[in-house]
Amino acid sequence: MRTLRQIAAVTGVAFTLAAASAAAHAEKLTIMVGGATKIIYLPAKLTEQLGYFKDEGLDVEILSQPAGVDAENELLAGAVQGVVGFYDHTIDLQSKGKEVQALVIFGQVPGEVEMVSTKASETIKSMADVKGKTLGVTGLGSSTSFLTQYLAQRAGVPSTQYTLLPVGADNSFIAAIKQNRIDAGMTTEPTVSQLLKTGDAKVLVDMRTLEGTRAALGGTYPASSFYVQRAWADSHKDDAAKLSHAFAKTLNFIATHSADEIAAKMPKDYYGNNKDLYVGALKASLPMFTKDGKMPADGPDTVLKVLSAFNPSVKGKHIDLAKTYTNDFVSSAPVKTAAK
């Protein structure tokens, strides 16, 4: 006759095997990231590296597109279930009749930096000097183009007086600076640190911190986020909750670990042969991340103000901000300090 201890052991094994089987047969979820190697989107790959998707019983594939607008198009086409991109897309899309909702807020600030090429820095001292210049963005209609236009307009320069050129991110952005195809442009870490190290560009507007963002945009500007189509979230509440919980655990990990410890979890191709530069860029970026994935109280209003200033799709439209995000899924997450 089996003892209670033997029964418990057999039961425990059965539960473990059942959980493993469920994970093995879980429907694959595909998430498109608007530039996976950008530090602003670090939580996407880090969640995978830490095993938090698997801990939730999920089978998740992370794909990358160079610009957030491309990732957005993949979502609307139904090719992916979710996007890691800027929250402002949810507002822009609502104005066009598309219902998209941010479930997790990664960044309370854009983490974007307007860099001016060293050669052009003699004539471009601020955004008020970009008249007649060519400004680099990741893609037309991307969040970098939204922000660039707003910064220029706030400085008194309308969009008709400069040229936006889509140049992508990372190495393609660096090449555009070095080849003088753009006079200035908006990018993120670790590209910012790489350009500063080589001396090819200087910081013009810094939105990596709350202080810098409030000075540039007039308020807190939630940016990098995980968003899905609202219809999908409504019909896949269990998956939506599990994804949100996994990302919330990662944000807690970021908040409780050093840049060195975080970098140690990332694939080598994310920092190449210069891990010190990557760690430095990461250290400068850590203040941008939320600790729990929740939307900052004043965030949606600031983003709507920015988009309404120039975006013809949003200007004059009634936007129901309550439908562009939800804290419900991250609020239900049992977040504990991660020790992986």
pLDDT band at 17 (very low <50, low <70, confident <90, very high): very low
* Mean pLDDT computed over 133-148: 90
The amino acid that residue 126 corresponds to is S
Sheet with 112-117, side-by-side order of all strands: 163-166, 134-137, 184-187, 112-117, 201-207
* Mean pLDDT computed over 141-167: 92
pLDDT value of position 129: 98
pLDDT value of position 141: 79
C-alpha to C-alpha distance for 154 and 306, rounded to whole angstroms: 10
pLDDT value of position 65: 78
* Mean pLDDT computed over 220-237: 96
pLDDT band at 170 (very low <50, low <70, confident <90, very high): confident
Domains observed in the chain: 4-109+222-331 (3.40.190.10), 112-207 (3.40.190.10)
Backbone angles phi, psi at 312, to 5 degrees: -65, -25
Show the tokens assigned to 147: 């922000």
pLDDT band at 146 (very low <50, low <70, confident <90, very high): confident
SS (HEC) of the chain: CCCHHHHHHHHHHHHHHHHHHHHHCCCEEEEEECCCCCHHHHHHHHHHHHCHHHHCCCEEEEEECCCHHHHHHHHHCCCCCEEEEECHHHHHHHCCCCCEEEEEECECCCCEEEEEECCCCCCCCCHHHCCCCEEEECCCCCHHHHHHHHHHHHCCCCHHHCEEEECCCHHHHHHHHHCCCCCEEEECCCHHHHHHHHCCEEEEEEECCHHHHHHHHCCCCCCEEEEEEHHHHHHCHHHHHHHHHHHHHHHHHHHCCCHHHHHCCCCHHHCCCCHHHHHHHHHHHHHHECCCCCCCCCHHHHHHHHHHCCCCCCCCCCCCHHHCECCHHHHCCCCCCCCC
Q: Which of 277, 251, 266, 269 is nearest to 190 (CA)?
A: 277
* Mean pLDDT computed over 117-136: 97
Lowest-confidence pick of 4-18, 210-224, 312-326: 4-18
The Cα-based distances of 20 to 7, 25, 77, 175, 184 in angstroms read: 20, 9, 32, 46, 50
More confident residue, 4 or 271: 271
Q: Say if CB 113 and CB 169 are below 8 A apart.
A: no
pTM of the model: 0.83
- Please identify which residue in the block is written with the tokens 């939105």: 207
pLDDT value of position 310: 76
Q: In the predicted model, is pLDDT for residue 50 greater than 80?
A: yes
* Mean pLDDT computed over 6-24: 46
β-bridge mates for residue 165, sequence order = 136
The amino acid that residue 39 corresponds to is I
pLDDT band at 4 (very low <50, low <70, confident <90, very high): very low
pLDDT value of position 69: 66
Instruction: Considering only the C-alpha atoms of the chain, give the largest distance between any 2 of them, rounded to a whole number of Å.
Output: 88
Long-range contacts, stretch 278-284, CB < 8 angstroms, 24+ apart: 278/190, 280/193, 281/39, 281/189, 281/190, 281/192, 281/193, 282/39, 282/42, 282/189, 282/190, 283/259, 284/189, 284/193, 284/208
Each residue's pLDDT tens digit, 186-196:
998 889 999 99
Centroid of chain to Cα 332 = 22
Mean pLDDT of the chain: 89
Show the tokens assigned to 78: 């139904």
Each residue's pLDDT tens digit, 70-120:
788 889 888 999 999 999 999 999 999 999 999 999 999 999 999 999 999
Q: Say if CB 65 and CB 170 are below 8 A apart.
A: no
C-alpha to C-alpha distance for 134 and 132, rounded to whole angstroms: 7
Each residue's pLDDT tens digit, 254-279:
999 999 999 999 999 888 788 999 99
Q: In the predicted model, is pLDDT for residue 47 greater than 80?
A: yes
pLDDT value of position 66: 64
More confident residue, 143 or 93: 93
